[in-house]
Structure 1
Amino acid sequence: MVYEERSYRRLFAQEDLVHFQVAYKETDLDIGIPKARFKPELVRRAEKIIRYYRRELEAYISRDLDFARTLAPHDVKPEAPPIAREMAAAARLAGVGPMAAVAGAMAQYVAFALAGPEEEIIVENGGDIYLNSSRSRLIGIFAGASPFSHRLALRIEPRLCPLGICTSSGTVGPSLSFGRADAAVILATSATLADAVATAAGNAVQDPLDVEKAARLAAEIPGVLGAVIIAGDKLAAWGRVNMVRSENPL
């Protein structure tokens, strides 16, 4: 797969990190590593890690086709690999199918394999982010044609890390959504859970007035730390969310 630049990535590029991109099939990652720890061989290592987890998931799906097809919670088989088990568990909490968590899960598993659970790293996969940081970070919010798009950012403090920051949209991007949210942004204790809940919250928005309902839905799920739901000119926020005006609008 040839890497195609995603302009929104400028919203979270961090000056103290070295960012590089790695893509394989549908997985398209932007990875940020502290400059002192970056080595060119990390790029090839990241490629190998992505291929490993992709192949592990694909091999499992070949024996459990419903895992990839269902839009509802799904019980995995005893031989399911850890990444599939975690996706299914997160999806059950959110009330969606396991594949709703795949982008967040890939970001998190690649981050753990590259840096472990303690080291600083940011991995973004199609707008779904795993972040572990020792300093405050600004993560921009892209919400399509909404007037809030590129105008707001989330300030993430180190005490919240590690965490997942994932976004679902019914108006932007190729991901499946049954809602009309311009952005359903979820902060959670894992990127896998954040991805699944973002899908569920996004599905709940059929009208801009549904943003509060979607935020309440996210608030009821264990492990969710915060939510920002945007549809048109309506916005609802809940939890440990610190929104600021974006310092780097596109």
Structure 2
Amino acid sequence: MDYIERTYRDLHRQGDLIHFQVGVKETDLDIGVRRDRFTPELVSWVEKLIKEQRSLLEEYINRDTVFPTTLNPHKVLPGAPDIAIEMAEAGQLAGVGPMAAVAGAFSQVVGKALSRRSRDVIVENGGDIFIKTSCARKVGIFAGTSPFSNKIALEIQPWQSPLGICTSSGTVGHSLSFGKSDAVIILSSSPILADAVATAAGNFVQVEEDVQRAVDYAASIKGITGAVAIKGEKMAVWGQIKLVPMG
């Protein structure tokens, strides 16, 4: 797994940005910002932000014990923090539990905050990405043992950003999936929604022929702008997706 972690992180890193890592408990972010915006103080500021948001979420979970375990849409209790509310709303739209969106939630919170300090930002959290860009960028696709893996990339244009690019896989990584996709990649202006829908769409994929079903499902959800589903030698694509060769 360590080898996979290092490999897939290479797929979104950009040569013109400085990338650094910030880890707080299970939250493990790879962050890219413009070189002129990077300072040691920025790293500390991001770490503090993650701790604050994690604390809000952890305190809420102590109050709402169903929230972290349910696999179904869940209504939050009064007084829930914004991060929990947005996760639950995304889960409602996607038909999954709120924790399906937790990685996308931290990418979004940190990405939006950093966007006020850097014109170009990439935040990756377990394959779930927030990107804001002033130029065209390639984000490579890792799809396990599929022949498409490490061969193709998404080309993202500035007009598409800020953008969430979230990936679910039934064959790679530790995230819960009831499907067997090599990769389901979802695009949305909300990384939180993209993360939840990636999980839900990935659950549809058991065999190669299911990739179209997964993409059709994602396309039916308001707020989703693009979808790619890969299983073995089959791939389905919908929406604002431009695939280009890696390299």
**TM-score if structure 1 supplies the norm length?**
0.95
CA-to-partner distance for each residue in 1:17-62, whole Å, 9 max, x for gaps? Answer: 1100011111110010101111121111111111111111111000
Residues 218 and 157 of structure 1: CA distance in aligned 2, closer, same or farther (over 3 Å)? same
**Contact kept in structure 2, 1:187 and 1:194, CA below 8 Å:** yes
Q: TM-score, normalised by structure 2?
A: 0.96
Aligned residue number for residue 107 of structure 1: 107
1:47-105 Cα distance to aligned partner (Å, 9 max, x none): 11111111111110000011101001000011100000001111111000000000000
Q: Deviations over 1:130-187 (max 9, x none)?
A: 0111111100000001110000100000111111000000000000000000000000
Corresponding residue of 1:189: 189
C-alpha separation in 1, matches of 2:93 and 2:78: 20
**1:42 counterpart residue number:** 42
Check the 8 A contact 2:33/2:122 in 1, yes or no: yes
Q: How many residues align?
A: 244
What is the CA distance between 1:117 and its match in structure 2? 9.2
For structure 2, which runs of at least 5 residues remain unmatched after alignment? none
Who is 1:221 aligned against? Answer: 221
Inter-partner Cα distance in structure 2 for 1:116 and 1:71: 34
Q: 1:114, CA displacement in angstroms? A: 2.9
Unaligned segments of structure 1, at least 5 residues: none
Residue of structure 2 in register with 1:210 after alignment: 210
Q: Is the 8 A contact 1:139 1:156 kept in 2?
A: yes
Give the whole-Å Cα distance in 1 for the aligned partners of 2:225 and 2:207: 24
Letter in 2 for 1:28: D
Which secondary structure does the structure 1 equivalent of 2:46 belong to?
helix
Residue 65 of structure 1: SS of its match in structure 2? coil
Deviation for aligned residue 1:116: 3.2
Q: Which runs of 4+ in 1 moved over 4 A?
A: none
Aligned partners of 1:242, 1:113: CA distance in 2, in Å? 27
